[in-house]
A = this chain, B = another copy of it.
C-alpha cells in the first residue's frame, strides 16, 4: 500500500484515531487488491457474494437497489474515502444489496474478512471502530422500523422526538444524527424534514439550537401524532 492510500484510509471511520503511518504498518504484510475503475463501469453487482470489503479510496459511486423486476428502488451517492456495505460483511450469507457503479474515475482497495480479522487482532481501535459502526447501523435501522407505524412525516418527527425524550430522559434532547442521516431515517429529502421542523417551531412545540431540540409542549407533540 502506498502512503497516499494510507492517508485516505486514515480519513474513514474504520481507521479513525489511527495515523497513516500506523495504517501502512498494519497492512505491511497483508494482501490487498487495488483496482482502477473508469467512469460508468460497474464495480459490483447486487446479489454478488460479499466476503471481501471494498474500500472506496478515490472518486464517487452510486449504490442502487433494484427489485425483482429490474425497477430501481433507491439510489445513493457515496464519496471516497468510505467502506462499502461493511455492515453485512460478516453475515452468514453476505450478498451485496446494491449495484455499485463508478460515477467518476474510481479507485478501490479490497481485502478479505480474514485480513480484516488480522487487522482487528493487531489494533483494538480498528476493531472498536468497526463494532461501533455496526452498532450504530443496527440502532438506525431499528429506529427506522419503529417509525413505520406513523403515517405522515410530521407524525414521524413528533414520534421520534418524543422517543428520544423517553430515551434520554431530559426535556432538551440531543439529535443523535446530522440532518442528512435524519432525512434518511425518515425516508424523505432534507428540505422536507427542515420544513416540518420549522413548522413545529412556528407552532411553539419545539425550539431548535443546532442538534439540541428543546421540547416546549410535549402534550402538543403527542396530539400531533393522533391527528388524522
Answer whether residue A227 sits at the interface, using C-beta atoms and an 8 A cutoff: no
B138 engages A127 (CB within 8 Å) = no
Chain B residue nearest to A131 (CB atoms) is B90
Number of copies of this protein chain within its complex: 2
Interface residues of A in 84-102 (CB under 8 A from B): 87-95, 97
B138 engages A134 (CB within 8 Å) = yes
Chain B residue nearest to A91 (CB atoms) is B135
Of B87, B169, B176, B222, the residue contacting A47 (CB under 8 A) is B169
Contacts of A7 in B (CB 8 A): none
Q: A46-B166, A121-B121, A141-B145 are in contact. Are A69 and B222 (CB under 8 A)?
A: yes
Contact-size category for A = 35 or more
Answer whether residue A3 sits at the interface, using C-beta atoms and an 8 A cutoff: no
Answer whether residue A201 sits at the interface, using C-beta atoms and an 8 A cutoff: no
Answer whether residue A163 sits at the interface, using C-beta atoms and an 8 A cutoff: yes
Interface residues of A in 114-165 (CB under 8 A from B): 117, 120-121, 124, 127-128, 131-132, 134-139, 141-142, 144-146, 148-149, 159, 162-163, 165
Of B68, B127, B162, B166, the residue contacting A159 (CB under 8 A) is B68
Answer whether residue A67 sits at the interface, using C-beta atoms and an 8 A cutoff: yes
Contacts of A165 in B (CB 8 A): 68
Of B65, B135, B149, the residue contacting A88 (CB under 8 A) is B135
Which residues on A are within 8 Å of B, measured CB to CB? 46-47, 65, 67-69, 73, 87-95, 97, 117, 120-121, 124, 127-128, 131-132, 134-139, 141-142, 144-146, 148-149, 159, 162-163, 165-169, 176, 222
